[in-house]
Amino acid sequence: MSFEISSPIPYLLNANGFGNGVLEVQLSYLERAISVSSFSQRILYETQPTPFNNALFYLSVHQLQHPLFHIRQFLYSLNIRRETIARQIASFVAHMCNGNTGWNSNFYVIARVDLVRVIRIEEQPRAEGWRGVAVERLSKLKSEEEKGDCSVCLDELDCEKREVIRIPCGHVYHESCIFKWLNSSNSCPLCRSSFPLHNVTN
């Protein structure tokens, strides 16, 4: 298993027309673990966002003539160095001012920014299952020849209605139990010895 860490920055903008040219940046932090195996890209877990900083920035009428420069500097001061976010906020601010004569700064913009620590985990590929195990190396036995319990289901091996099987490492299980086990693993339930895998035709 291996992993790498990155930090994407999702964000959300909203605003109202009542304010004095205020840009509020609400910073939150969360962790997200993602599987990057060839079989899935699923999220393994994600923590709830934890707020850790709220910062206010007042945009004057003069600054609103070229808001991108000033918004970019403000975000840099918060260690947010994403040009896309700065441009989106500047565009949003310009839209809020669009209907105001003389670039009136009567707005309040809130940018909620989530700093995400992403842990990318490379999972081991799922075993091919019992159909891929070297079946010719599994020996069927008569149940009455074996004493003791099946370590998978914990029932006695000596059962007339259930066939038993010996796997290459020498351990014995009910046939149905070990095949079910091998659907998700290619190793012995007891000693963890691995089996060679290949495609098997009936």
Q: How confident is the model at residue 185 (pLDDT cuts 50, 70, 90)?
A: confident
Q: Note whether 26 and 14 are within 8 A (CB).
A: no
User: Hunting for tokens 């990057």 — which residue is that?
Assistant: 36
Burial class for 150, CB neighbours closer than 10 Å (0-12, 13-18, 19+): buried
End-to-end CA distance of the chain: 34
For CATH 3.30.40.10, the residue range(s) in the chain are 126-202
E strand or H helix at 92: helix 83-97
Q: How confident is the model at residue 99 (pLDDT cuts 50, 70, 90)?
A: low
Query: pLDDT tens, 65-81?
Result: 888 999 999 988 888 88
Distance CA 187, CA 202 (A): 22
DSSP state, residue 149: B
Query: pLDDT tens, 29-53?
Result: 877 777 665 455 666 677 788 888 8
The correct answer on CATH 3.30.40.10 for the domain covering 126-202 is yes
Distance CA 160, CA 142 (A): 9
Query: pLDDT tens, 102-147?
Result: 555 677 888 888 888 777 666 555 544 444 444 444 455 554 455 6
Report CA torsion sign: 79, 84, 86, 89. Answer: negative
